[in-house]
Amino acid sequence: HAKSLGKNNCQFYSNELNRMVHEHLLLEASLGRAIGNREMVLGYQPKVDLRSGRMIGAEALVRWNHPEHGLMGPDSFIPLAEQTGLIVPLGEWVIDEACRALKALTMLGVEDFVISVNLSLRQLRQRQFVDRLGDSLRRHAVPPSCLELEVTESLLMERPDEAKAVMARLKALGVQLSIDDFGTGYSSLSQLQAFPVDHIKIDRSFLGGKVDNGHGVITRAIIALGHSLQLKVIAEGVETREQLLFLRNNDCDQMQGYYFSPALSEQGLADMLHRGVTLQA
């Protein structure tokens, strides 16, 4: 009896595996066509200056408007894009689209606005990455300082020397750089000092549900560390007034999170900028 059960189990796993492989291949094929089919869209989550309360920029977050699955978040296709190498054309599209949006906002009279995009390791390691990025900036006539690139701390630590070299070239181009999800990637502090970055983003896990449960201590320490290295510190995933007040009291520079706004469409972002919405605490 046990034997036949075992056999059924094997069959179950192999059917399940087949199904997963099949779905994976289907998704991979449709991902390859997604850009050409104009299925990718960027959402823009506003970033706010904690002292003035003004919107100073936005983070571009990619979404896939899949013909069958509907709107998909990045966590459900970025890993696949990274495995297959499709992250390279996708990442180029994201940067070019962000530059186009920046130009469009400028035409509407928006000034000194920064859009940040997220990068994957595979993009950073692409030989033509820096040149292509420069092409996008020129094509849309966007000042390089209006574009910011976010790389996660864990990505930097995977290849610190390679990352440093590419980041130096990006800095020379004039774009801004930030370390994303800071505090989760085990960077040594000596390494941190060697990266030519402008911002660090405190990972939202440190904000916790409540700020007085020990998480606050780490947030405060990251803010102090960032400031001692002359970096601006931004908190992500801010959802409550309590978190906001904590960040203000502890001299954090910028915030983004549902408390102020989720990611918006380009039109939604333009409307908000036009209305001059500020952060109210």
Binding mask 99-128 for Mg ion (x = CB under 5 A): -------------------x----------
Binding mask 116-145 for ligand C2E (x = CB under 6 A): -xxxx-------------------------
Q: Phi/psi at 249 (nearest 5 deg)?
A: -65, -25
Find the angle CA(120)-CA(100)-CA(94) to the nearest 5 degrees. 20
What is the chain's length? 281
Residue 176 contact among Mg ion, ligand C2E, none, beta carbon within 5 to 8 Å by kind: none
Asked if 45 is part of the footprint of ligand C2E (rule: CB under 6 A), the reply reads: yes
Q: Does 73 bind ligand C2E (CB under 6 A)?
A: yes
Binding Mg ion (rule: CB under 5 A), the pick from 153, 180, 253, 266 is 180
Buried b (16+ CB within 10 A) or exposed e, 33-66: ebbeeebbebbbbbbbbbeeeebebbbbbbbbeb
Alpha-helix runs per DSSP H in the chain: 2-34, 78-84, 87-107, 121-124, 129-139, 153-158, 160-173, 189-194, 215-228, 241-249, 266-275
Q: Decide: is 94 part of the binding site for ligand C2E (CB under 6 A).
A: yes
| Residues contacting ligand C2E: total by CB under 6 A | 23
**Rounded to the nearest whole angstrom, what is the least distance from the CB of residue 150 to Mg ion in the complex?**
4
- Which residues are near ligand C2E by CB under 6 A? 45, 61-62, 73-75, 78, 91, 94, 117-120, 150, 180-181, 236-239, 257-258, 263
